[in-house]
Amino acid sequence: MSSEARTAPGAPQSPDATEAGNYFVSNYPPFSCWSESHLDDARAALARPPAPGTELGIYLHIPFCRKRCHFCYFKVYTEKNSTEIKRYLDAALCELEHYSKQPFVGGRKPSFVYFGGGTPSYLSADQLRYLTDGMRKLLPWDRVQEVTFECEPGTLTEAKLKVIKELGVTRLSLGVEHFDDHILEVNGRAHRGAEIARAYEFARSLDFPQLNIDLIAGMVEETEAKWEMAVGRALELAPDSVTIYQMEVPYNTTIYKQMKSEGKLTAPVADWPTKRRWVDEAFKRFEAAGYTVASAYTVVKDPARTKFRYRDYLWAGADLIGVGVASFGHIGGTHLQNLSDFESYLAKLDANEPPLWRALTPTAEERFVREWILQLKLGRVRASYFQQKFGVDPRVRFKTELADLERRGFFEVTGDDVKVSRAGLLQVDRLLHEFFLPQHRNIRYT
């Protein structure tokens, strides 16, 4: 089978049509390989001291939203009251306390903290203070280099943003996705354009070290004109960084359920060539305005000042404490994930037990592949890094794959450098499957 024809379950099965499946590669081996039978691996990882020089981070999942987006595949809840939210915050702090006492921490303090969702900004100012005060008592933040906080514009007020800044957030990420009210409505977003403008103005006035906005290319009913407008509006705002994703349709989304009920094989969104072209056009417009393309998904105004520590540390093997329902962690080389049901998660912590669901300890070869494919998303890697860390030269290990990707114009190998071309970067998640080990190419990703 040719490289052009080969695909993997969980990835789109056509090079053009947007079909159901998880396109975005966020970890390796695939999540479907993780299981409850490997939970002893996770417990063993928690009981080992850390490897010297390994950074430590915290990811805390806030699963509450005003509304569930039609393309969302994360664990979120839209009906929880203040009492239930308080129970959840207490449970999250209980979980973090459990981890803080484990040998794997080894006296380390977190280098980065990430509040993801869901919608972290759904929490009230008092709830945010309660949560972060409790976190700091357990694992102090005095060595934290980055605190990322995801926001939905419609949940932000000037007063709440002031509290978020006071909490030490250094990277505020606004989930804008689009500026057109109709596009936002048909895709299930809770906010509208006026709320974006107001929230952004408030945030900019507070001088956060890094202000990021998210865009999604190819949402339901997207058009050429509306995409051009969205990019132009983002340029007018001039944020420190912009993250641009290409619309996908994972299996557990509202859009996928609609596809199933209507018997459609393809989703009502733009095809992959169109989405790649739109992202390429956006990249070019940002580059013309002085931005730099920093990964397959990001442009930054000042690469020397604007970093993404969470991504860079995690892709280089950092330890990550995943806190909250369905959260993912990475401890001592072992992957682990929490229970994905709200009440089951709370019940485990009420019983003073860690709320773990599944885990996996990758082999040495799988750890090498994991860092290789994730770091390729940056657009450039050095072979010597992998030789020094894993004793493997990727130029030799993947000689056939790299030669094929070079022939197709997606990669370039020059000395120690392995570069991903713009054409390759725009579809890097599809190309990464070329490097999956044989046992992972014919299984569902999630």
Q: Report whether pLDDT(6) > 50.
A: no
pLDDT at 252: 83
How confident is the model at residue 265, as a pLDDT? 60
Q: What is the pTM of this model?
A: 0.94
Residue 18 in tokens: 């947007």
Instruction: Using DSSP bridges, classify how beta strands 292-293 and 319-323 pair: parallel, antiparallel or unpaired.
Output: unpaired
The answer to whether 322 and 42 are in contact (CB under 8 A) is: no
Q: Predicted confidence band at 8 (pLDDT cuts at 50, 70, 90)?
A: very low
Q: Summarize the confidence of residues 4-31 as an average pLDDT.
A: 69
Cis peptide before 317 (omega within 30 of 0): no
pLDDT band at residue 14 using 50, 70 and 90 as cut-offs: low
pLDDT at 311 exceeding the cut of 80: yes
Give the burial class of 199: count Cβ atoms within 10 A of its Cβ; 0-12 exposed, 13-18 middle, 19 or more buried. Answer: buried
CATH class of 363-446: mainly alpha
CATH 3.80.30.20 location in the chain: 33-313
User: Are the C-beta atoms of 119 and 164 separated by less than 8 Å?
Assistant: no
Which residues, at least 6 apart from 351, have a Cβ–Cβ distance to it below 8 Å? Answer: none
pLDDT of residue 9 exceeding 90, the answer is no
Q: In the chain, list all ranges with CATH 1.10.10.920.
A: 363-446
The fold of 33-313 is pyruvate-formate lyase- activating enzyme (3.80.30)
Q: What is the pLDDT of residues 414-424, one digit of tens each?
A: 999 999 999 99
pLDDT tens-digit series, residues 214-272: 999 999 999 999 999 999 999 999 999 999 999 998 888 888 888 777 776 677 889 99
Q: Does position 13 have pLDDT exceeding 60, yes or no?
A: no
